Structure formats: structure tokens, C-alpha cells
Amino acid sequence: METRTLELITAMGLLTYLVRLVPFLVIRKTRLPKLVEHWITYVGDGILVSLLLPYILLNGKGFDISMGNVKVFSGIVCIIIAVMTKSLIFTIIAGIVCIIVLSSIVV
């Protein structure tokens, strides 16, 4: 590997680290208002939904909310399992099993 390439990779790694470290150092002793703290707790859920929803509702041609879309039904099953058990592992297992079973039934 060329020296220049190694230098660029190292510089990009340091820059990435600094971008994450500096805000933490600046606000670690700052107390955010309760409303902001409460709002931040939903950021992870929002990101997860924004990643999963297009996968579930879109196919190659556009929106597919039909009964033939096994991903929609599996998503509903996952929501029900998650609410009932509050267990991530059971929800994931139920989703995988549901996708496998429905994919073999609906062709």
C-alpha cells in the first residue's frame, strides 16, 4: 500500500473520531431540558422505522400493501409480538419464522 493512501486512511479515521468526540466533550456537562431529553429517546426508534418501512412497503414497482406482500403481514405480526412480549429476540424470531412460512405458502 502506498504511503499516501495510508496517510489518507489515517487522516479520515482521525477526522471521523474527532467529529464524534468533540460534541461529546462540549456537551457532556451540559444538562439538556427535560423536553429535549424526552424527545431524544425517540430518535433511535425513528431511525429504525425509517430503515424498515421502505423495505416492508415497497417493491420494485412502488407501494405494495396487498395481501400478497408477506412483509406487511410479518411486520404486523412483529408489532403484536413486540407489544405482547416486550422482547426483541422473540420479535426477531417471530418475524423470521413468519417470513419463511408465508414465503413458502404465497408464491
Distances 2 to 7, 11, 12 between C-alpha atoms, Å: 9, 14, 16
Query: What is the rounded CA–CA span in Å between residue 43 and residue 30?
Result: 19
**Other residues' Cβ atoms within 10 Å of the Cβ of residue 71:** 19
pLDDT score recorded for residue 37: 86
Tens-place pLDDT, residues 53-98 = 888 888 777 887 877 788 888 989 999 999 999 998 999 999 999 9
Look up the pTM and report it: 0.58
Per the CB < 8 A criterion, the answer to whether 71 and 95 are in contact is no
Where does residue 107 rank: exposed (0-12), middle (13-18), buried (19+ CB within 10 A)?
exposed
Which grid coordinates are listed for 98?
413468519
Tens of pLDDT, residues 42-56:
998 899 889 988 888
